Amino acid sequence: MALYGNTPEEIGCAAGILRGGGLAAFPTETVYGLGADAGNERAVAKIFTAKGRPADHPLIVHLAAVDEIERWARAIPDSAWQLAERFWPGPLTLILKRAPGVLDAVTGGQDTIGLRVPNHPVALALLKAFGGGIAAPSANRFGRVSPTSAAHVIAEFGDALDCVIDGGSCTVGLESTILDLSGEYPRVLRPGAVMPDVLTRILGESLSMGAGDSPRVPGCLASHYAPDTPLRLMAMAHIEAATQSFVNLGQSVAVLSMHPPATNQVGCRWLMMPTSPSLYGQLLYARLREIDTWGSRCVLVELPPANMAWEAVRDRLQRAAGGRQDGRGCA
Ligand code: TXA
Ligand code: MG
């Protein structure tokens, strides 16, 4: 796989790979995407093969600018235009009714499509150089933690891709907020950096949360975004007792916490996390990948505060724990 820098020439090469039906991973402000020409069925099929993702799971199509929406969606409500004008480029994906001619391979056969204009200079330059929509899921194998650097993408895929453009570390670090505007009421399918209270204010109506019964949103599966090391979420007050029980058994344990340890325990590796939700989100996936290289028996993660600012972080941690908030899974 070619590793490109972010010069115009190298971005031009990556656009050429996309035009030729190849796979090019690229940075966005949220996470790295695994891109293919959204208008080329065989190219899109390669994404599913590379990721090991079920074929009926839809992809987000990335656009260079708001005015490209109409090529991909129909019956676009005013609210979609308003939100696109306000948040694009940015970490908000809108689910809309799909336009005629959009490939089933992209939408997983559904009547809707996910669209987003990413807020990253490399992604925007690539989209402009390519001149069309780029279908791109997060550039990780199915069910795994999303990549927030080019090195993570290489670690996931090795030579299975044609190229990855290195645009540094992602500033948001968690996947985009997904807002479904295709139904009767707006619904947040996945929390992200664009928070529901801001969306509510602009939409002038309250939002439903969660994927409902939709089986088509892999990011909403209970065990998504999982690191290799079993992960347990718990209140700070319980962490030291839990580490002690691992240490007593002679097992190594890792901790991800916003507080320092009261005592140093041999066999326990303690990583401090920021107390700001946006900085925490920026670092989380890189930290989980780092911990995976340690071979610890388990990673204990301090539960972040239960408020809206932490919703996206809590959502990813809960999924990384496989829906667990107790000790199961580390035994
Ligand atoms: O931040 C992001 O959204 C990143 C970057 C690369 O843009 N992309 C990303 O893609 O996270 P992916 O495929 O890993 O997650 C996209 C989610 C999936 O859960 C998918 O099921 C959902 O969006 N999705 C896409 N199209 C949809 C649709 N038409 N209806 C419902 N869910 C949809
Ligand atoms: Mg993903």
Predicted pLDDT of residue 265: 86
- pLDDT tens, position by position, 203-217: 998 899 887 545 455
Mutate to test the pocket of ligand 1, among 32, 44, 63, 93 (most ligand atoms within 8 A of CB): 93
Per-residue pLDDT of 141-184, as tens digits, reads 998 999 999 999 999 998 899 999 999 999 999 999 999 999 99
Residue nearest to atom 21 of ligand 1 (CA): 217
Residue nearest to atom 31 of ligand 1 (CA): 217
- Residue 250 above 70 pLDDT? yes
What CATH number has the domain spanning 2-209? 3.90.870.10
pLDDT of residue 132: 97
Where in the chain do CATH 3.40.50.11030 domains reside?
A: 231-320
Q: Is 31 in the pocket of ligand 1 (CB under 6 A)?
A: yes
Is pLDDT above 80 for 20? yes
- Which tops the pLDDT comparison, 327 or 83? 83
Report pLDDT for 219: 53
Give me ligand 1 centre to Cα 113, in Å: 10
- In ligand 1, which atom is closest to the CA atom of 214? 31
Residue 19 has pLDDT above 50, yes or no: yes
Single-letter amino acid code for the residue at 10: E
CA dist 181 and 87 (Å) reads 15
* pLDDT tops 70 at residue 222: no
pLDDT at 327: 41
Interval 101-121 mean pLDDT: 97
Measured CA angle at 1 (ends 132, 9), to 5 deg: 50
SS3 of residue 82 by DSSP: helix
Q: Is the CB of 318 under 6 A from ligand 1?
A: no
- pLDDT at residue 5 tops 90: yes
- Residue 227 pLDDT > 60, yes or no? yes
Which uninterrupted H or E stretch holds 61?
strand 60-62
Encode pLDDT of 69-92 as tens digits: 999 999 999 999 999 999 999 999
Give CA separation, 104 vs 64, 108, 110, 294, in Å. Answer: 22, 6, 7, 41
What spacing in Å lies between the alpha carbon of 102 and ligand 2's midpoint? 21
CATH assignment of 231-320, given 3.20.20.120, 3.10.20.600, 3.30.70.260, 3.40.50.11030? 3.40.50.11030
